[in-house]
């Protein structure tokens, strides 16, 4: 075999080894993601803990079930716009919960309501009983580039960004918010509660298939090249 041909085969072999290794690495990442998702779901299904037992670490508290007891402050509630439910446009209502003995309020996602333009709603129709005793699961705030606050509605936000949202409250808010879980009670002024969102596995499987495909193409190409030679 000529030196140039040997170099081509060597490069092809190294490329195949590298892409196979990357494929298995993506499969290991997929396994880690599935394990992590199972842990999150397990948290959401365990018995709720008091708010003072919520971990300080954002990763540890995510999806943690918590007990809620306090009084809603409907005057200072906010909405998150452009939320969909079964294909319909709407908003999520987040109402601060004042807890006895604490200056800090907990934002509670009380659920989703329909809005034709995904932002205009009459919140007064959705003032349920002010005293709350229930439970939910912890969600972390999000940080992303872009304009989080609506330009026309001072208490409407596009996503849950803590620095932006905290500015509209006359008191401090917790570094997380809680999504209220449906307790089975239905009333005309109670918005449909949100369920635990499905957890995706990310792109790791498709990336693994791509790397294995590259390796297969490289191996077949080398086989045909050597056979022709």
Evaluate whether residue 53 is within a structural domain.
Answer: no
Residues 165 and 122 in one domain: yes
CB-based burial of residue 200 (10 Å sphere; 0-12 exposed, 13-18 middle, 19+ buried)? Answer: exposed
29-86 pLDDT, tens digit per residue, is 877 777 666 776 767 677 888 988 888 888 888 888 899 999 999 999 999 999 998 8
Q: How far apart are CA 172 and CA 166, in angstroms?
A: 7
- Total domains in the chain come to 2
pTM summary value: 0.73
Range of the domain at 174: 64-180
206-216 pLDDT, tens digit per residue, is 888 888 888 88
Residues 94 and 170 in one domain: yes
């Amino acid at each position: 075999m000529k030196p140039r041909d040997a170099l081509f085969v060597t490069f092809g072999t190294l490329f195949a080894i590298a892409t196979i290794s990357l494929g298995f690495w993506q499969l290991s990442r997929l396994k880690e993601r599935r394990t992590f998702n199972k842990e999150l779901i397990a948290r959401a299904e365990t018995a709720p803990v008091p708010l003072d037992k919520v971990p300080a670490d954002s990763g540890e508290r995510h999806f943690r079930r918590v007990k809620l007891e306090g009084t809603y402050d409907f005057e200072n509630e906010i909405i998150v716009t452009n939320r969909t439910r079964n294909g319909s446009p709407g908003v999520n209502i987040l109402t601060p919960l004042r807890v006895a003995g604490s200056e800090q309020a907990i934002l509670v996602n009380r659920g989703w309501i329909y809005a034709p333009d995904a932002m205009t709603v009459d919140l007064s129709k959705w003032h349920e009983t002010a005293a709350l005793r229930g439970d939910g699961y912890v969600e972390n705030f999000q940080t992303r580039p872009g304009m989080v606050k609506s330009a026309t509605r001072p208490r409407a936000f596009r996503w849950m960004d803590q620095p932006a949202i905290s500015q509209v409250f006359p008191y401090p808010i917790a570094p997380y918010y809680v999504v209220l879980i449906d307790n089975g009670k239905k009333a005309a002024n109670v918005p449909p509660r949100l369920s635990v969102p499905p957890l995706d596995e990310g792109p790791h499987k498709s990336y693994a298939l791509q790397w294995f495909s590259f390796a297969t193409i490289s191996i077949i190409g080398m086989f045909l090249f050597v056979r022709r030679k």
